[in-house]
Amino acid sequence: MSLTYDEIAEVIKLIDSSSCDELVIETGDMKLVVRRNGAPAAAAAEYTERGSAPVKVAPISARDTPAAASKVEAAAGQVEITAPMVGTFYRAPNPEAPPFVEVGSVVRIGQPLCLIEVMKLFTTINSEVSGRIIQIGAENAELVEYGRALFVIEPA
């Protein structure tokens, strides 16, 4: 099993945006070591296939990800829907489809609001309340952290 550069970059982004300091993935023919603290920046990630020399992977930090959307906050009586995990936020089920919701959309309990992708696994985030979308707190394809406010809903 080998990983593409994009897959390694995704792992580094996830580590960079989490509180995890080190991740080691080892299979029969490869070993991936990603360290945040205690390692020089040039050696922050190392990818080795069995029988070959280690390949250094340039570190990716939050500065390399798309600019964060303005901070969203729920006013009294409004409900904040937060990210249940670190991952990539998607507003639509696929690139050609329209977004699940827009600002001003009326939603009901259980209605899909977005997807969060972690290592090619997609989790649908559903509305916890019925009401109207007041704010959307992330841009499409943006890396979001656990607990980040994704939507503010004014209950009906």
Mean pLDDT of the region 132-155: 94
- Domain-located, residue 33: yes
How far apart CA 78 and CA 31 sit, in angstroms, is: 46
> What count of Cα atoms within 13 Å lies in the side-chain half-sphere of residue 137?
18
Is the pLDDT at 3 greater than 90, yes or no? no
- Domain-located, residue 69: no
Mean pLDDT of the region 1-9: 72
pLDDT at 48: 52
Same domain? 59 vs 127:
no
Give pLDDT tens digits for 16-61: 777 776 777 777 777 777 776 654 444 444 545 555 555 544 444 4
- Domain-located, residue 70: no
- Domain-located, residue 21: yes
Which of 41, 64, 87 is the last residue in one of the domains? Answer: 64
Which of 14, 39, 64 is the last residue in one of the domains? Answer: 64
**DSSP state for residue 51 in the 8-state scheme:** T
pTM (2 d.p.) = 0.58
Mean pLDDT of the region 101-130: 95
How far apart CA 32 and CA 85 sit, in angstroms, is: 22
Q: Output the domain CATH number for residue 102.
A: 2.40.50.100
pLDDT at 103: 96
How far apart CA 79 and CA 152 sit, in angstroms, is: 6
- Which bin fits 120, alpha (ψ -120 to 50), beta or left (φ > 0)? left
- Domain-located, residue 72: no
Same domain? 90 vs 143:
yes
Q: Residue 143 — pLDDT band, cuts 50, 70, 90? A: very high
Expressed as residue numbers, the domain containing 52 is 5-64
Q: Residue 12 — pLDDT band, cuts 50, 70, 90? A: confident
- Domain-located, residue 135: yes
Same domain? 88 vs 141:
yes
Same domain? 59 vs 90:
no
Give pLDDT tens digits for 61-110: 444 444 444 578 888 899 999 999 999 999 999 999 999 999 999 999 99
* Joined tokens for residue 138: 């992330």
pLDDT at 65: 40
Same domain? 90 vs 129:
yes
Which of 64, 89, 105 is the last residue in one of the domains? Answer: 64
Say how many domains are in the chain.
2
pLDDT at 52: 53
- Domain-located, residue 131: yes
Same domain? 88 vs 45:
no
Same domain? 53 vs 84:
no
pLDDT at 13: 76
- Domain-located, residue 32: yes
Of 85, 33, 90, which is closest to residue 66 (Cα–Cα)?
90
